[in-house]
Amino acid sequence: MIKFTLYSRTYCHLCDDMLHALQALLGPDSYPINVLDVDADEALVAQYDELVPVLVGHREGQAARQICHYFLDEAAVRAFIAD
């Protein structure tokens, strides 16, 4: 199973742009996308603060993999899914 986590901020237009682009790329009812506000967790701020938005892909049985940050890299998302 594949799922995605988007590390985001509530006041971040780049975050909104990445989410909308990812939803358009994946299509409705495809893969789950969990959106987490980094400002709600000090550990996430420490890890992702200046990189937000950050898209991480999860594949069952494998370590999570950072796919892109700032802007959606469609080729990287497609490669992750095909991998």
What distance in Å separates the CA atoms of residue 39 and residue 30, rounded to the nearest whole number? 27
In a domain, 81, yes or no: no
What average pLDDT does range 52-59 have in this prediction? 97
In a domain, 38, yes or no: yes
Instruction: Determine the pLDDT at residue 28.
Output: 82
Contact (CB, 8 A) for 2 and 81? yes
Domain that holds residue 12: 2-69
In a domain, 53, yes or no: yes
Asked whether residue 41 carries a pLDDT value surpassing 90, the answer given is yes
Instruction: Specify the number of domains making up the chain.
Output: 1
Asked whether residue 46 carries a pLDDT value surpassing 90, the answer given is yes
In a domain, 33, yes or no: yes
pTM score of the predicted model: 0.94
CATH of the domain at 58: 3.40.30.10
What average pLDDT does range 23-37 have in this prediction? 93
